[in-house]
């Protein structure tokens, strides 16, 4: 019994030490730019293991030198309540759950109508994560989907909101998010797709980049996508109502 209690105590201490480490890392981000994220390192390892080479395009751009069009486009596309919420948008999560439930129900009904042995097309899963949640996941966590990982993501999200202001959260997000194979951050994306700095992006160019975010590698190879163009036009129309931090 004593050995079990000692083990539990050590596990609790290890968990506490890990959280303190995260607190320290996030607090430092108020003044220091992160050199890389867990997601970036994971992606580059996969690319290097496949190709034998490491191609990583990223250049940090201060918030003030980044196009306001891009800031507004990303907020309009990814997290319309970014300024108001405290890390988690419960309304957006509820809507995402409802849409996913309906999508799964339609997929099940479609599967029932298929011939025996024919594969059912999986339901499209819609996320309800805020920009802060996405940043928390990208900075520190793996891509696995478990309750423990989601719980850690929530805690990291709250820490980010408590220790950093909205402007800094958006600055780090825009400088580290993936925009294609080995393309990370707004400056690398602007140069890769438009051969111009992130400060010079037009409203429509910024909107197209914002629409790419959920599936950057997919859209990187589909520049002529009708959905991409249509959705970008919708985002441009919404950008005027976006308040920047």
**232 in helix, strand or coil?**
helix
List 184's β-bridge partners, or say none. Answer: 178
* Cα(168)–Cα(81) distance, integer angstroms: 16
What pLDDT does 120 receive?
A: 47
What pLDDT does 118 receive?
A: 54
CA distances from 230 to 204, 220, 224, 227, 236 (A): 11, 16, 11, 5, 10
Q: Who contacts 164 (Cβ-Cβ below 8 Å, separation ≥6)?
A: 26, 29, 30, 172
Per-residue pLDDT of the chain (245 residues; tens, 9 = 90+): 777 777 888 888 888 888 989 999 999 999 999 989 999 988 888 877 777 777 788 999 999 999 999 999 999 999 999 999 988 877 766 665 566 555 556 555 655 555 555 544 444 444 568 999 999 999 998 777 788 888 899 999 999 999 999 999 999 999 999 999 889 999 999 999 999 999 999 999 999 999 999 999 999 998 888 999 999 999 999 999 999 99
* Dihedral of alpha carbons 61, 62, 65, 69, sign: positive
Determine contact, residues 110/121, Cβ cutoff 8 Å.
yes
0.75 surpassed by pTM: yes
Q: Is 159 exposed, middle or buried (0-12, 13-18, 19+ CB in 10 A)?
A: buried
CA distances from 123 to 14, 95, 104, 112, 149 (A): 38, 16, 5, 14, 23
Listed by start position, the domains of the chain span 2-89+128-239, 90-127
What pLDDT does 136 receive?
A: 96
* DSSP string across 88-111: --HHHHHHHHHHHHHHHHHHHHHH
Q: Who contacts 47 (Cβ-Cβ below 8 Å, separation ≥6)?
A: 53, 54, 55, 181, 182
What pLDDT does 125 receive?
A: 42
* Cα(140)–Cα(102) distance, integer angstroms: 32
What pLDDT does 49 receive?
A: 79
Determine contact, residues 208/199, Cβ cutoff 8 Å.
no
What pLDDT does 112 receive?
A: 56
State the DSSP H helix or E strand holding residue 168, giving kind and residue range, or none if neither.
Answer: helix 166-176
Closest CA to 26 of 150, 151, 178, 172: 172
What pLDDT does 209 receive?
A: 97
Report the topology of domain 2-89+128-239.
Penicillin binding protein transpeptidase fold (1.10.3810)
| First-to-last C-alpha distance (Å) of the chain | 53
Torsion on CA atoms 69, 75, 78, 79, rounded to nearest 10: -170
Determine contact, residues 83/166, Cβ cutoff 8 Å.
yes
């Amino acid at each position: 019994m004593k050995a079990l209690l000692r083990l539990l105590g050590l596990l609790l201490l290890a968990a506490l030490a890990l959280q303190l480490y995260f607190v320290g890392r996030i607090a430092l981000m108020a003044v220091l730019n992160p050199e890389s994220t867990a997601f970036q390192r994971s992606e580059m390892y996969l690319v290097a293991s496949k190709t034998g080479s490491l191609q990583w395009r990223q250049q940090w751009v201060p918030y003030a030198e980044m196009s306001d069009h891009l800031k507004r486009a990303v907020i309009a596309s990814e997290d319309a309540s970014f300024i108001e919420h405290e890390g988690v948008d419960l309304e957006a999560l509820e809507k995402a759950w409802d849409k996913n439930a309906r999508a799964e129900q339609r997929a099940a009904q479609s599967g029932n109508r298929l011939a025996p042995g024919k594969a059912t097309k999986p339901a499209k899963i819609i996320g309800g994560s805020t920009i802060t949640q996405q940043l928390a996941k990208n900075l520190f966590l793996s891509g696995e989907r478990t309750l423990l990982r989601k719980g850690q993501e929530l805690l990291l999200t709250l820490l980010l909101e408590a220790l950093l202001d909205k402007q800094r959260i958006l600055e780090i997000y825009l400088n580290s998010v993936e925009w294609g194979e080995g393309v990370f951050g707004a400056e690398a994306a602007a140069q890769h797709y438009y051969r111009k700095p992130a400060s010079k992006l037009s409203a429509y160019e910024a909107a197209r980049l914002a629409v790419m975010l959920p599936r950057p590698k997919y859209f990187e190879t589909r520049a002529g996508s009708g959905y991409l163009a249509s959705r970008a036009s919708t985002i441009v129309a919404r950008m005027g109502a976006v308040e920047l931090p």
